[in-house]
Amino acid sequence: MDNFVVRYYKRNFWVNSLDMGFFGLGLTFVSTSTIFPVLIKNLGGSNLHIGLIPAIANLGWTIPSLFGAKLVANMPRKLSFILKGTVWERVPYLIIAFLLIFLASKNPTLTLYLSLLLLFIATFAGGILFPAWLDFIAKIIPSPMRGTFFAVGGGIGGATGIIASFIARRFLEIYPFPLNFFYCFLSTSISLGISYIFLALAKEPELAINSEETDFLGYIKNLPGILNKDKNFTSYILARIIATLGTMGVGFYTIYSLKEFALADEYAGIFSAFLLGSQTISVFLLGPIGDKNGHKLILSSGILSITLAYLGLIWGINYWTGYLAFIFLGINYSAFNTSGLVLLTEFATQELRPIYVALSNTIIGPFSFLAPIIGGILANKIGYKPMFLISLVLSLIGFIIMYFMVKEPQKSLK
């Protein structure tokens, strides 16, 4: 096992980094934080529909993980399963592209709901695959280098994504609706196809898993015991739940900023550039710092950064405070995409790792789904700024629990 990891380390590091990079690049063209909300608005969607975007994405990415972990629990290799399943998280964006060409002008309402459904299919497939993918990465990338790996993969996606965000802005600015969004979704499909090629080039060792075979009901019954035994993991879950509720306002950053500062739709591409620029710079710093000083510190800082993002929007002097909010949001994303992933690989042993990943995702999932919906309801009832203030307070509580109550997993195991 060790010899295999060393032999293919460079190959696996770079092909998987490029897979991550092109995957991130592809999703930039249809960002659920910037581009997708504007599409839904142009299709006649309300604040509730816009709130459904992150709700659907979060639900898809989290709840199915519990089933995915059970499916792969005893697989000695995960890559074949991942390659087959990931088609379902890539093809839906190509289908949306053609819906925009052939259906949007005739029936925008149907196009709206089909687009949300296809987003759910893509993220649902991702949620099923996530425990297998993270366990696969943990097998082939040694623990001391995982933060750096996620930083490089995220950095490639962020750096190329900055260019993509300006291209997306030009699409939105030059071409009429819905052709402008068609080009965005087509670009996504091309990038995700390249990403798939790099993923297929990875090498995975075969590793026998010594875990007991149980039926699904028995598997579910055993899950609460993990939380009872591992108080540190339970504290981590609690911090993540509250911090997740604090993200209820994130899906409204773009719509609020466009309205508050009287900006045209193409400014969504500029917001994407600030978001990705912040992610790219911060991810290269946060990953290696986490490898050296602990990833709990980085994740705590990521939660704190989103409170600063909300402050920028509440302050709201001019559109530059909107840019500032996206800069802090980028830091938040970087922290969760590096240290958040690394921490999940360090709480448990090899045998339990997919289950820990799935348990975390599944418990947090309902709150991820409800948070933006609650945000949409509050935005309609009391306005954007009061909703942002409530989100800020919840994020601050999540930071306090993560920083002061959760122990660094590797240190607590020594």
Region of poorest pLDDT, from 159-168, 284-293, 312-321, 377-386: 312-321
Is 220 a residue whose pLDDT tops 90?
no
Q: Which segment of 21-30, 84-93, 262-271, 361-370 scores lowest on mean pLDDT?
A: 262-271
Q: What is the mean pLDDT of the chain?
A: 85
The single residue listed with the structure tokens 């060792």 is 205
- Amino acid (one-letter) located at 400: I
Q: Which pLDDT belongs to residue 413?
A: 42
Q: CA 293, CA 126: separation in Å to the nearest integer?
A: 30
Query: What pLDDT does 213 receive?
Result: 59
Q: Tens of pLDDT along 185-211?
A: 999 999 999 999 999 999 988 766 555
412 pLDDT band (50/70/90 cuts)?
A: very low
Domains of the chain: total: 1
User: What's the pTM value of the predicted model, to 2 decimals?
Assistant: 0.74
For residues 115-139, average pLDDT: 90
Structure tokens at 112: 């709206």
Q: What angle do CA 60, 339, 353 make, to 5 degrees?
A: 65
Q: What's the CATH code of the domain at 151?
A: 1.20.1250.20
Split at pLDDT 50, 70, 90, the class of 72 is confident
User: Contact, 153 vs 27, CB < 8 A?
Assistant: no
CA-based diameter of the chain, in Å? 63
pLDDT band at 216 (very low <50, low <70, confident <90, very high): low
CA distance 384 to 292: 39
pLDDT digit string, tens, across residues 345-399: 788 776 677 778 778 878 887 887 788 889 888 988 998 889 999 999 999 999 9
| Segments forming the whole domain that contains residue 258 | 2-413
SS3 content of the chain, % helix, strand, coil (to 5): 85, 0, 15
The string of DSSP letters for 106-165 reads T-HHHHHHHHHHHHHHHHHHHHHHHHHHHHHHHHHS-GGGHHHHHHHHHHHHHHHHHHHH
| Entry field: residues in the chain | 414
pLDDT of 252 strictly over 70: yes
Percentage with pLDDT > 70 across the chain: 94
Angle value at C-alpha 155, between 313 and 353, nearest 5 degrees: 95
How far apart, in Å, do the first and last CA atoms of the chain sit?
23
* Amino acid at residue number 136: F
- Running DSSP on this structure, what letter comes out for residue 408? P
User: What is d(CA 82, CA 125) in angstroms, rounded to the nearest whole number?
Assistant: 10
CA–CA distance, 1 with 76 (Å, rounded to integer): 12
Residue with tokens 């911060």: 282
